[in-house]
């Protein structure tokens, strides 16, 4: 079976990490499939939301260290053998940050290492009450290699980021909620239904506006206020030309739910 299950139903796509026997540890096949699937869904005008989750008991236990030690898969051999140029452009975590389609992470189980960073890269995070986050990078002699050093200070501030990174302790769902790392703690058996409910609500809104909003949120992290205001105005001028704006206004005046087409 594929290391990644990819499905689409209506306006919602679901990606499921699929190595349950390894707690969904990352393989080269999974990385390649994840990156290409995210790109594909971002380019598909019919897809308005992506749900990312894991098969079995875990969300993602990180890079497959057993394969790495054995000289297989990601990381190859720990014995060295020379260096070469590596591009980050095609990394799934970079793609995840770059795409405009919203991504909901349904953390169904343990999220460790790469899995922890992968969850942070999603726009919204729902966590099972049975799951835990395990930022154990310092316990393995490494750093958050796939976005954690960028996301954590922006999500929860400097001191708490240092607490998480330097101590390397497991984070319970309740603690993750208190820190602002997740949006909601959900009863395990209801997690996917809740993710679907959130996805349905997002998909019912104007997709051009949602994508533009996500893009502006991302750019706003590195722009001064005046420059960002200018970009927001330019985006509004484009949106005003869409059919969705007219439908939104008409639906409001007629006191009904809008039916957006993404045009």
Structural domain boundaries, residue 217 = 207-253
Residues 6+ apart with CB under 8 A from 25: 19, 60, 61, 62, 63, 64, 65, 66, 67
In whole angstroms, give the CA distance from residue 162 to residue 157. 9
Q: Are residues 63 and 154 in the same domain?
A: yes
Whether 20 maps to a domain, the answer reads yes
Answer yes or no: do 99 and 167 share one domain.
yes
103 contacts 125 by C-beta, under 8 angstroms: no
Q: Which pTM does this prediction carry?
A: 0.91
Buried b (16+ CB within 10 A) or exposed e, 59-74: bbbbbbbebbeeeebb
In a domain, 261, yes or no: no
Please list, in sequence order, all residues whose beta carbon lies within 8 angstroms of the beta carbon of residue 189, skipping any fewer than 6 positions away.
Answer: none
| CA angle (111, 113, 119) in 5-degree steps | 50
Of 179, 203, 227, which one is at a domain's C-terminal end?
203
Query: Based on the structure, what is the number of domains in the chain?
Result: 2
In a domain, 259, yes or no: no
Q: What mean pLDDT do residues 159-165 have?
A: 97
Average pLDDT over residues 213-226: 96
> Which among 186, 203, 220 is the end of a domain?
203
Residues 6+ apart with CB under 8 A from 138: 165, 166, 167, 168
Q: Are residues 60 and 113 in the same domain?
A: yes
Q: Give the pLDDT confidence score for residue 143 in this predicted structure.
A: 85
Answer yes or no: do 138 and 242 share one domain: no
- State how far the Cα of 3 lies from the Cα of 1, in Å rounded to an integer: 6
User: Which residues are 7's β-sheet partners?
Assistant: 14
**33 and 11 co-located in one domain:** yes
Identify the H or E element spanning 202: helix 191-203
Answer yes or no: do 197 and 211 share one domain: no
User: What are the tens digits of pLDDT across the range 66-80?
Assistant: 665 555 555 544 445
Is 99 part of a structural domain of the chain? yes
Q: Are residues 148 and 223 in the same domain?
A: no
CATH code at 146? 3.90.226.10
Q: Do the domain assignments include residue 260?
A: no
User: What totals of helices (H) and strands (E) does the chain contain, helices first?
Assistant: 11, 9
- Please, which pLDDT band fits residue 91 given cuts at 50, 70 and 90? confident
- Residue 224 within any structural domain of the chain: yes
Q: Is the pLDDT of residue 83 over 70?
A: no
User: Do 195 and 211 reside in the same domain of the chain?
Assistant: no
Backbone angles phi, psi at 147, to 5 degrees: 120, -15
Flag whether 262 is in a domain. Answer: no
pLDDT of residue 78: 46
Q: Which two tokens stand for residue 138?
A: 């310092």
Which two tokens mark 66? 């057993």
DSSP-derived letter for residue 138 is: G
258 within some domain: no
79 and 33 inside one domain: yes
Q: Tokens 């796939």 appear where?
A: 146
Query: Same domain for 181 and 248?
Result: no
Residues 147 and 235 in one domain: no
110 and 227 in a single domain? The answer is no
What is the three-class DSSP state of 14? strand
């Amino acid at each position: 079976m594929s290391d990644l299950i990819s499905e689409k139903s209506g306006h919602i796509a679901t990606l499921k990490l699929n190595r349950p026997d390894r707690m969904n540890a990352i393989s080269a096949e999974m990385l390649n499939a994840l990156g290409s699937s995210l790109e594909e869904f971002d380019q598909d005008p019919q897809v308005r939301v992506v749900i990312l989750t894991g098969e079995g008991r875990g969300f993602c236990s990180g890079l497959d260290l057993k394969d790495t030690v054995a000289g297989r898969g990601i990381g190859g051999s720990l014995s060295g053998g020379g260096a070469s140029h590596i591009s980050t452009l095609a990394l799934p975590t970079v793609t995840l940050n770059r795409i405009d389609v919203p991504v909901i992470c349904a953390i169904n189980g343990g999220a460790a290492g790469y899995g922890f960073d992968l969850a942070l890269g999603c726009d919204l995070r729902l966590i099972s009450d049975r799951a835990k986050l395990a930022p154990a990078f310092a316990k393995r002699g490494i750093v958050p290699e796939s976005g954690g050093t960028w996301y954590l200070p922006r999500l929860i501030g400097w001191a708490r980021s240092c607490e998480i990174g330097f101590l390397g302790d497991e984070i319970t769902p309740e603690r993750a909620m208190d820190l602002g790392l997740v949006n909601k703690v959900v009863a395990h058996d209801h997690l996917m239904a809740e993710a679907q409910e959130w996805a349905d609500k997002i998909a019912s809104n104007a997709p051009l506006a949602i994508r533009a909003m996500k893009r502006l949120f991302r750019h706003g992290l590195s722009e001064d206020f005046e420059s960002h205001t200018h970009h927001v105005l330019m985006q509004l001028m484009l949106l005003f030309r869409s059919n969705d704006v007219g439908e939104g206004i008409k639906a409001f005046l007629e006191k009904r739910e809008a039916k957006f087409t993404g045009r």
